[in-house]
Amino acid sequence: MLCTLLIAAKIRVAERITAFLKNVCAKELVLVASFTSGGLPVVLPTLSPNTKYSVMSNWAIPYKYPVKEILTQATMRMNLEGITLSETG
């Protein structure tokens, strides 16, 4: 019963929005065109496949590299191999 009422309410809201949009398109076509052309640059980048790949690369590449850990590992490797800093330069 409650679900049926919610669906009916949503249908009424959709009908009101549709009627409003038809009315506005009939009376103020210039406003509809300007809002449409202004809204497209906001919506279209989210639909672009480039957005998907940029998000994937942002997740894969760390923002900060673990420099201290890399230096520690390099120093430990040099100590194991018997290399001193004076020999490397």
How confident is the model over 18-57, as pLDDT tens digits?
A: 999 899 889 988 988 898 899 888 888 888 888 888 888 8
Number of domains making up the chain:
1
Q: What is the pTM of this model?
A: 0.42
pLDDT tier, 16 (very low <50, low <70, confident <90, very high otherwise): very high
43 or 65: which leads in pLDDT: 43
86, pLDDT greater than 80 = no
> Six-digit token pair at 31?
């406003």
Separation CA 28–CA 30 (nearest Å)? 5
Helices (H) and strands (E) in the chain, counts: 5, 0
Measured N-to-C along each axis, helices 29-47 and 49-60 cross at an angle, to the nearest 10 degrees, of 40
Q: Look up the domain containing 8 and give its range.
A: 2-88
